[in-house]
Structure 1
């Protein structure tokens, strides 16, 4: 059966940083923020609340920056982060455009907080390439929880069997398959036709 929609992960799939260390690899040289301190003071204690929509990004980031890098504002770090983590996989986007042109809508299904979701959708203009976005802070739950997939099903008003999905994380793919989605593990350079041939049926 041809899927009624294709759900696509963002980080590691649509967006793929060329440096394996990611957007923060040179943050100490560029902004004077110790990378390990940012992890210890912000990401480890605060990210779960931020990414699940329980706290605004800036409310948790500002106190951390005041402690570890008072010379850097929230806006400076967020701009550095979002702009540095905006490397689109054009080869994949070309394949996705063909799928969309054949009549299958494309949606993003991602673990994002509100500000970056907005940046991806509006500033990077993924809204021009995709038909919808579903993300953790909006849903209050993230992959690989079954509740994430159930919430997406409810939002698109489709049964699990009608949804195809690609993600670069095995546990997310397995969780989607457990829900009944036609899910495939994505790797750079892969071909959608080989991963989910039903899209081309």
Structure 2
């Protein structure tokens, strides 16, 4: 018989609950040029040089940033289309991971999303139904904190009332895994195909 090892599981979103990352490349970026006629290289150069990182922690607005880029490309009317494409193409639920979430919930474990997404995508995640599997959704844009900042983990502890080794982070980035461990949590480095190893980590036999 299996017994849960943890009271709370904190699930990263992209690359864990959502199978949208392959070799560090997000799904929406792969066919952006072909599908939209715009340049993903141009967008990435503009956005991911510090601007998105500010939006991620609530210091900038993603819609405004994409609007500025679209205007610089001469297509200001397509800014909303870019974000819709981004979010929709990156919607690839990992059903195997979600089955593990459901099993944990049935066993009485508290499940939360712990993501570095900004506020608009955090809202989108909930609207797509991921939040239905969770007791809470913690997002960097709402918290104004991002992993691997140790204050990120403390914020979740304060909100949920669970600390230390009663908590495990499941994340696809090693730096976040190491930070969670440094804060006193347990952690699992999730990689594609590691579902069985994850289940073995979450439960004890007997």
What TM-score, normalized to structure 1?
A: 0.91
When the two chains are superposed, the root-mean-square deviation of aligned CA atoms in Å is 1.8
Q: 2:16 aligns with which of 9, 13, 17?
A: 13
Shift of 1:109: 0.2
- 1:161 is aligned to 165
Q: 1:37 aligns with which of 38, 42, 48?
A: 42
Specify which structure has the higher proportion of strand.
2
Q: 2:63 aligns with which of 27, 35, 58?
A: 58
Q: Distance in 1 between matches of 2:12 and 2:185?
A: 14
Aligned counterparts, 1:1-201, within 5 A? 2-17=5-20, 20=23, 21-22=25-26, 23-70=28-75, 72-122=77-127, 124-190=128-194, 191=196, 192-198=198-204
| Contact 1:184/1:196 (<8 A) preserved | no
Change (3 A) 1:55 1:185: same
Structure 2: stretches of 5+ with no match in the other structure: none
The number of residue pairs the alignment matches comes to 199
Shift of 1:71: 5.8
Q: Distance in 2 between matches of 1:169 and 1:144?
A: 10
Q: Distance in 2 between matches of 1:165 and 1:45?
A: 26
Secondary structure in 1 aligned to 2:29?
A: coil
Structure 1 moving runs of 4+ over 3 Å: 18-21
Q: Distance in 2 between matches of 1:84 and 1:133?
A: 21
Secondary structure in 1 aligned to 2:199?
A: helix
Secondary structure in 1 aligned to 2:49?
A: helix
Q: Distance in 2 between matches of 1:45 and 1:2?
A: 38
Q: Distance in 2 between matches of 1:189 and 1:39?
A: 28
More off after superposition, 182-191 vs 79-88 = 182-191
| Contact 1:106/1:132 (<8 A) preserved | yes
Q: Distance in 2 between matches of 1:78 and 1:39?
A: 13
Structure 1: stretches of 5+ with no match in the other structure: none
Q: Distance in 2 between matches of 1:142 and 1:154?
A: 16
Q: Distance in 1 between matches of 2:37 and 2:78?
A: 12
| Contact 1:8/1:107 (<8 A) preserved | yes
Shift of 1:157: 2.1
Shift of 1:42: 2.1
